[in-house]
Amino acid sequence: MTYTPRYTNQALKDIKKLPTNLKRKVEKTIKLLIDDPFSGKPLMGTLALIILVLMVGPRQDIYKRLLRFLES
């Protein structure tokens, strides 16, 4: 299974503001996480309890709606 990173507009703005050396480090880290999503350090404390909900809907059309959302 190949993972594809998706960035929020805020994440893209944040990366753009970084110095070049940090941008490279972020890109390298993201590539490592794409290859092995469990290689990073687990979140701790209340951050470990966050669940990101992208979309909610009936099962019969949620996959089509989610694909459209991810392609936009």
Residue ranges per domain, the chain? 9-71
Q: Cα dihedral sign for 25, 26, 32, 35?
A: negative
Q: What is the pLDDT of residues 8-64, one digit of tens each?
A: 888 899 999 999 999 999 999 999 988 988 888 887 887 777 777 777 777 888 888
Q: Note the pLDDT of residue 67.
A: 86
CB 33 within 8 A of CB 40: yes
pTM confidence score: 0.64
The two three-digit tokens of residue 57, written as one number: 């809907």
Examine the pLDDT at 69 and tell me if it is beyond 80: yes
CB 5 within 8 A of CB 30: yes
Short-list 44, 19, 15, CA closest to 30: 15
